[in-house]
Structure 1
Amino acid sequence: MKKLFFTGLLALAMLSTYAQVKTPQASPAAKIDQMVGLADIQIDYSRPGAKGRTVYGDLVPYGKNWRTGANANTTFSVDQDIKVSGKDLKKGKYALYTTPKADSWDVIFYTSTDNWGLPENWDESKVALRVSVKPETLMRSVESFTIAINNITNDSATLDLAWERTYVSIPFTVPTNEVAMASIEKALAGPSYADYFAAAQYYYQSNNDMNKALTWVNKAIEMAPSDRDTPFWYLRLKSLIQAKTGDKKGAIATAKSSLEGAKKAGNADYEKMNKDSIAEWSK
C-alpha cells in the first residue's frame, strides 16, 4: 500500500513538472522600436481590450492619472534630447502616464519606471514633462488599446494613442539636423585621438608595421586633451611599440612616464606591468 502511495506521489510530481498550461494574456505585451530621423525610440506597453465596455469616463475615469495601458507602467525611451509639443524632454527612459478628460488630456513623462501601473506615492518632482493635447473622436471603434509612432519625417513624428473611439496625437520633434551636422563636422575634421590609439593598439597586437603604430600612438598622445595628464595606458602602449622597434632606451623612458601616471591614478596593475617591462628592457 505504501508503495502504491509513493508511486502515486511520484506520478503527480512528474505531471506537475511537465504540465505547463499556456493561456493568452488578457492584455498582451507589445513593443515598438522606431527610428525618427537619427533618434531611436522604444516603447513597451500592454494592450487591454475594450470588450464591450465604455472606456473613457467609466473604465478609465476622467480627471485621474492612468497607467496608459495595463499591467506594468508603459515606458518610453529615447536616445536623444527631443521636443514634445514644443517642450524639451531629455534623452532617457520614462514611464508614460496620462490624465484623460473629456476635452483635453495631460500626457506625463515620469522618471521612475519600475512601478506596477501607477506609483504608490505620486512624486511631482519626478515629472520630467507634462503637456496637454486635445482628444479626437474616431469614426470607428478600436478594440485593443494601441500606441503608435506615425507621421514620420526626418525631423518629427507623432506619438498616437487610440482606444475605443478616442484618439490622441502628441507631436514631437527630433534634432536630426544638429546631430547630422555634428557627425559631418567630426568626420571632416579627421580621426580623433581615440581613433589613432585604437589603430596603434590593433597594429601592435596584430604585429603589423610598428613604425606606423608608433606614428599613430604619438598622434594620439599629441591630440589627447591638454587639460589633464597624458593617459598612462597610452604611454604604456607607446613603450611596448618602442620596444618592438628595438628602441629599448626610449621604451624605458616612456614606461617610466607611464609608471608615474599609474601611481598617481592608483592603478596597481599598470604599475606592475611598467616595472616588469623596465626591468626586462634594462638587462
Structure 2
Amino acid sequence: MTAGFALSPTALGDGFRIESFTEVGSTNQVALERAGQGDPGKIWLVTGHQTGGRGRRGRPWDGRPGNLAATLLLRPKVELATAASLGFVAALGLRDALQAVMPSRSVSIVPDGGDLRGGGRFALKWPNDVLADGAKVSGILLETAQGGRDGLAVAIGIGVNVVDHPRDTPYPATDLSAMGAGCSASDLFFALSDAFVDNLRLWQDGRGMSAVRDKWLQGATGLGSQIAVDLGGRIVRGVFETIDSDCHLVVRGQDGEETRIAAGDVHFGAVASARNFKAEAR
C-alpha cells in the first residue's frame, strides 16, 4: 500500500496542510465534511486507496490500490462562477506534475481517433481532463458547499491511475506504470502539491484567469478539430474553436455560428462524426 505522502517545501511554505489515509471512501466527501466542521481550507486529503470515489455526473471512479486520490479543500473569497474556474487550475497543476515525474514527448493521438493539435504527451481535454498519450489517466471533480458565515468551500478532487487502470471503459484508458513511469502515488502527489501552488498563484483568486486560459490553450488537445459535445441529450457538433474568457467551450458550427458551452461531455474524431453518436457515447 502506498504511504509516505508529503507536501513539497513550496506548499508547506505557502501554508498548506495534509492528512493522509491508508484507505478512505471518498477524499472529496471527507473534505466537504471538514468544511462543514469549519476547517479553514488549504488542506490536502490524500490516499493510495479510495473505495467510493465519484466522477462527474455521479459516475463512479475506480480507485484501485496504489493509485492516487487527493482532494484539496479551499475557501476562496470569490463568487461561485469564479470558483468553477479552479477546475482549469487543477488540470494545469496535474499536467505540470505529470510532466515533472515523467517528461513529456510529442505524440499524434487524441481520443476517438482524432488528430492531435498541440498538447504533447500530457494534453488537456476540456473541461478538466488530463490525457496521457490520448488516453484517460486521471479525473478531476469540483464540488462546492456554502459554509454559512465561513463562506464558500471548494473540494477539488483529483484521481490518477498510477499503477493500474480499468479495462472496461467506453474510452481509452491507461496508467503511469503502463507508460513506463517508475513513480508511486506519493511521488506524484509531492509534485502535484508543488505544481498546484504555482498555478494557484497564477489564478490570483480569479484575477489571473486570462493567464490561466492562455496556459491551458497552449496544452489543449483537439483545437481546430471536429468535436461533438453531449449536453445530456442534445448534441452540439462543429469545430473546437477556443475557450472564452469564462473558460466556456466555443464550438463553430457548419453555418459559422458559434456556440458557447459551460458543461458537457466532449468527443473528438470518429465519434464526433458518427450519426449514431448517442448510442456510442453512452
User: Which TM-score applies when normalising by structure 1?
Assistant: 0.21
Rg larger for: 1
User: Which TM-score applies when normalising by structure 2?
Assistant: 0.21
Structure number with the higher helix fraction is 1
